[in-house]
Amino acid sequence: MTTPVLLDRHGPIALLTINRPEKLNALDYATNDLLLAHLNELEPDDGVGAVVITGAGRRAFSAGGDIHEFSRSIADGIEAAVRDFCQRGQRMTARLEDYPKPVIAAVNGLAYGGGCEITEAVHLAVTCESALFAKPEITIGIPPTFGGTQRLPRLAGRKRALEMLLTGDSFSAARALDIGLVNQVVADGRELDAAFALAKRILRHSPLAASRILTAVTRGLNTTITEGLRIEQEQFARMAATRDVHEGLTAWIERRMPDYQGAEAKQ
């Protein structure tokens, strides 16, 4: 049987590929669960500093949830549908959003529904020029269920997000860049290279500092500015007790490139 998510390691970068091209990489329950399992597996691996997610083939990053499977859960009742579909998808996207290592989406085609919600949840995203995005859940009579009603307004603003959510209309890669859903638009076929290049730019720096930044930003977005500043201070305090801070400061003074080890304790 074909594995629905492929895991490949390219040095310090782990590549996760949603591998259902014949279904436009739709997120059935097995795919959702395997994505989550791979993220859990990679988190404690000190040899992995960043994760890139893409879709198999050239047609789709992910066309969203597997409607045939979801319809069976709907037939089983509200409790089953909420548990099997909504809560499962929300766990996966929340894990992406809260992940302590940078996660970058390389969007290589359609990113509809759940595919768009993965793009919303990850820390950074690169897309090819021909990619299309959409929030089409309303066309089958439901709101988004993997966090789209919450994350898209935070990224795009309330009115722009509501237009996308309420019409279900698709929008271009250029529009995704304009609203802050993606960081970069590149020529078709170059999105994976661009995602890897972005990961390598991050990996030049302390992995501990990157993790502290991710935590401060993710937690701070959902608080007041006063609480956010307290979170920022906490994350700085955690870094101040590390070898990486000592190495970074020493390297700057000595005018050399730092050699970060990701070590928590001082030398």
Judged against a pLDDT cut of 90, whether residue 266 lies above it is answered with no
Q: Could you give the CA distance from residue 41 to residue 96 in angstroms, rounded to a whole number?
A: 13
**Mean pLDDT (whole number) for 20-48:** 97
- Percentage with pLDDT > 90 across the chain: 91
pLDDT of residue 267: 42
Other C-beta atoms within 10 Å of 129: how many? 14
Q: What is the biggest distance separating any 2 CA atoms in the chain, rounded to whole angstroms?
A: 67
Contact (CB, 8 A) for 117 and 110: no
Cα distances from 9 to residues 53, 118, 196, 210, 233, in angstroms, run 12, 21, 12, 20, 34
Q: Which of 41, 97, 117, 264 is catalytic?
A: 117
Cα-flanking dihedrals φ and ψ of residue 204, to 5°?
-65, -20
Q: Which of 129, 137, 191, 234 is catalytic?
A: 137
pLDDT in tens, 161-188: 999 999 999 999 999 999 999 999 999 9
Query: Is 137 labeled as catalytic in the residue annotation?
Result: yes
**Mean pLDDT (whole number) for 50-79:** 94
Q: Kindly compute the dihedral angle of the four CA atoms of residues 141, 123, 233, 203, in this order, to the nearest 10 degrees.
A: 170
**Mean pLDDT (whole number) for 69-79:** 90
Q: Could you give the CA distance from residue 168 to residue 152 in angstroms, rounded to a whole number?
A: 13
Other C-beta atoms within 10 Å of 79: how many? 9
pLDDT in tens, 208-264: 999 999 999 999 998 999 999 999 999 999 999 899 998 999 999 999 999 998 866
Contact (CB, 8 A) for 129 and 186: yes
Query: Is 22 labeled as catalytic in the residue annotation?
Result: no
What's the mean pLDDT when you consider all of the chain? 95
